[in-house]
Amino acid sequence: MTEIKKEIKVTGNERPKIGVYVCHCGVNIGGVVSVPDLVEYAKTLPNVEVSREYKFLCSDVGQKMIKEDIEAGLINRVVVAACSPRMHEPTFRIACKEAGLNQFLFEMANIREHSTWVHMKEPEGAYETAKDHIRMAIAKSRELIPLEVQKVSVEPSCLVIGGGITGMNTALDIATSGYKVYLVERTPTIGGHMAQLDKTFPTMDCSACILTPKMSEVSRKKNIELLTYSEVTEVTGYIGNFEVTILKKPHYVDQVKCTACGICVDSCPITVGNEFDIGLGTRKAIYVPFPQAVPGEYTIDMENCIKCGICARKDVCEPEAIIYDDEPEEIKVKVGTIVVATGWDSYDPTELKQYGYGRYPNVITGLQMERLLSSFGPVVGKPVRPSDLKEPHSIAFLQCVGSRNFREGGNQYCSRVCCMYATKQARQYKEKHPEADIYIFYIDIRAFGKGYEEFYESAARNYGINYIRGRIAEVSEDEDHNIIIRAEDTLLQQPLEMKVDLFVLSTGLEPRADADKITSLLRIQKSADGFFLEAHPKLRPVDTLTDGIFIAGVAQGPKDIPDSVSQAKGAAASAITLMAQGEVEIEPFFAIIRPERCIGCGMCVENCAYGAIDITDDRRFGKIAAINETLCKGCGACSGNCRCSAIDIKGFSAEQIYSIITGRI
């Protein structure tokens, strides 16, 4: 373990003694500009006491050079001219701290990405640019003052929003590590969309066989508090200390007394469309969404219930579990971390008029086909045409409905699962009906996952599924409700027309309809496609820009089940790491108010993406802005929009920014 020297007392008022260290970075910098010349140039600038070079400053030898100068009392500021601060700023900060210098008396000049890489073929220009960056960094370093990190305790509990396969895996991993988990699901049961599937590609495993043991494990897990039929309505606080309000909607059935005997369902006179079957099946006003639902107790749909009282009769419900006057319950919890696993909605193809969805009964979506194929679906796994309940002898699938087609009202991105689920459904039907004609119209087959290419090739070679490259221009219906397809085969370069019994639209995945509500509640961001934005697509794929809040599964972007589970485990590990630390350090780069200038106009409140600013009443100054230092990210949006120049950012004060500008001139 590296020994940390006693901190050198620096107030910021003494004369700056600056050490400048220029890195060759192999040939990335040294192969384009003369590093010795940059070192000599730095020596000519005011307050520079030491100027040195090294091949790789990030190495132990390079760091030792800096430490020795600090320990010898030669310098009280450090400037490193090297690569991006995103790469090695933490490395050099730690080196300063270990030598006894406040780590925030360090400044980095990026002369690789901002100079030698972009001007590789213009060494003279690169040299001048590097000089500018070094001069500006030195100018700012003169204005640096010591800062201290803040330490915040972390509540050892986690909120997981969403009870699908992603949310369940996240909750189980965290709970198994010994932490309390509040798993919130908006519907009466956990399981998500995976519960609607019959089989999973490419292994053709029974979806329910994989899923239901997980659902049961979640319900039994000691550390998981399962809150189904519930929604998060308010989130306040910050990393380690989030205060969450959850609205638990009334089931109108006592979940403890109910034995799930089902007599009430048999007695209920009201029949409505079943959302779980995407409108292809029916349910009663008192129901469980599907046979394997967890929890398995019943819920009354009060929008359709006529309150006839039959289900509440003693001879129908012996435990007397019906509660017509049941009311919502508000639950408040405190958690240290939050994982968002809210899943996806299926694209609605109604707006694509040329495909006839919503007009022709035998045009269905891929998710509806999934319910027809399901052994516990509306037709117990024996698909029929919705128009006449006859077995289809020919089926056509159309790919990329709502995906890669933004000009027609769809989305620009690929949904990643449609090619494989259409292939899976076609194969399932062929296994039961080898004589059936199956066609899949596609633009490109995207078989990206492990075993997917083999799965696709097997479907064409071994099952006789016909893949036709081309778009369908329009569909119509004959008097027998058969679907007439007009399309173009782009490989044969000729138009074609065919008649099929059933037409399946392979609809893509979309962000959930309530995504905007979630972004507002949690103060997280969305990317251009509407899914939640990760902090970094490569290095921080499950983090958000709000510390302590993580995303996983399709909430972050389209993906299949294996990738969703992998990301669930990544989010769980990130949350566990935070909670295991017990406390986290918050960097001191946050906004500060100059109360004598603030007029309390509230413009900064409107511009803060993190909800870190409030207008408060001050005895001396009246209405002024107040900063929550833990929530603030130091982005500067408030400072840049303040008409009174009443807001500074620690580490990026007006004086420091001004010194950088004047240093460049």
Q: What single string gives the DSSP state of each residue in 178-217? A: T-EEEEE-SSSSS-GGGGG-SEETTTTEEHHHHHHHHHHH
Which letter does DSSP use for residue 447 in this model?
Answer: -
The CATH code of the domain that includes 449 is 3.50.50.60
pLDDT bracket for residue 13 (50, 70, 90): confident
Please identify which residue in the block is written with the tokens 């919130």: 184
656 domain residue, yes or no: no
Residue 6 has pLDDT above 70, yes or no: no
Stretch 420-430: mean pLDDT: 98
152 domain residue, yes or no: no
Domain count, the chain: 3
Stretch 383-394: mean pLDDT: 97
Predicted local distance difference test score (pLDDT) of residue 510: 97
DSSP bridge partners of 623:
617
Residue 664 has pLDDT above 90, yes or no: no
Q: How many CB atoms lie within 10 A of CB 352?
A: 20
- From 113, 147, 181, the end of a domain falls on 147
66 domain residue, yes or no: yes
DSSP string of 41-74, one letter each residue = HHHTSTTEEEEEEES-TTSHHHHHHHHHHHHTTS
- From 471, 488, 510, the end of a domain falls on 510
Helical residues (DSSP H) of 434-514, grouped into ranges: 452-462
Q: Whole-angstrom Cα distance, residue 18 to residue 141? A: 8
Stretch 433-445: mean pLDDT: 97
226 domain residue, yes or no: no
Tell me if residue 2 falls in helix, strand or coil: coil
pLDDT bracket for residue 2 (50, 70, 90): low
Q: Whole-angstrom Cα distance, residue 414 to residue 417? A: 9
Domain that holds residue 61: 18-147
Are residue 504 and residue 597 in the same domain, yes or no? Answer: no
| Contact in structure between 537 and 529 (CB atoms under 8 Å) | no
φ, ψ for residue 591, nearest 5 deg:
-75, 145
For 175, residues 6+ apart whose C-beta sits below 8 A from its C-beta are 181, 221, 222, 223, 224
Please identify which residue in the block is written with the tokens 């107790």: 297
| Contact in structure between 299 and 287 (CB atoms under 8 Å) | yes
Are residue 383 and residue 505 in the same domain, yes or no? Answer: yes
406 domain residue, yes or no: yes
515 domain residue, yes or no: no
Are residue 489 and residue 612 in the same domain, yes or no? Answer: no
Cα of first residue to Cα of last residue in the chain, in angstroms, is 44
Predicted local distance difference test score (pLDDT) of residue 511: 98
The CATH code of the domain that includes 621 is 3.30.70.3270
The CATH code of the domain that includes 49 is 3.40.50
Are residue 495 and residue 621 in the same domain, yes or no? Answer: no
Total residues belonging to the chain: 665
pLDDT bracket for residue 538 (50, 70, 90): very high
- Rounding to the nearest 10 degrees, give the CA dihedral for residues 310, 311, 317, 320: -100
Helix H or strand E encompassing 129: helix 123-142
pTM attached to this predicted model = 0.88
Helix H or strand E encompassing 550: strand 549-551
Q: What is the percentage of the chain residues whose pLDDT exceeds 70? A: 98
577 domain residue, yes or no: no
Residue 1 has pLDDT above 90, yes or no: no
Which letter does DSSP use for residue 526 in this model?
Answer: B
Are residue 504 and residue 600 in the same domain, yes or no? Answer: no
Are residue 453 and residue 602 in the same domain, yes or no? Answer: no
Are residue 499 and residue 352 in the same domain, yes or no? Answer: yes
C-alpha neighbours within 13 Å on the C-beta side of residue 494: 3
Provide the mean pLDDT of the chain. Answer: 95
Q: How many CB atoms lie within 10 A of CB 560?
A: 20
Q: Residue-wise over 94-106: b if at least 16 C-beta within 10 A, else e?
A: ebbbbbbbbbbbb
Stretch 247-270: mean pLDDT: 96
115 domain residue, yes or no: yes
Are residue 349 and residue 483 in the same domain, yes or no? Answer: yes
Residue 408 has pLDDT above 90, yes or no: no
Q: Any long-range contacts for 475-480 (C-beta under 8 Å, 24+ apart)?
A: 475/354, 475/355, 475/356, 475/360, 475/363, 475/503, 476/356, 477/356, 477/359, 477/360, 477/362
- From 510, 544, 562, the end of a domain falls on 510
DSSP string of 77-101, one letter each residue = EEEEEES-HHHHHHHHHHHHHHTTS
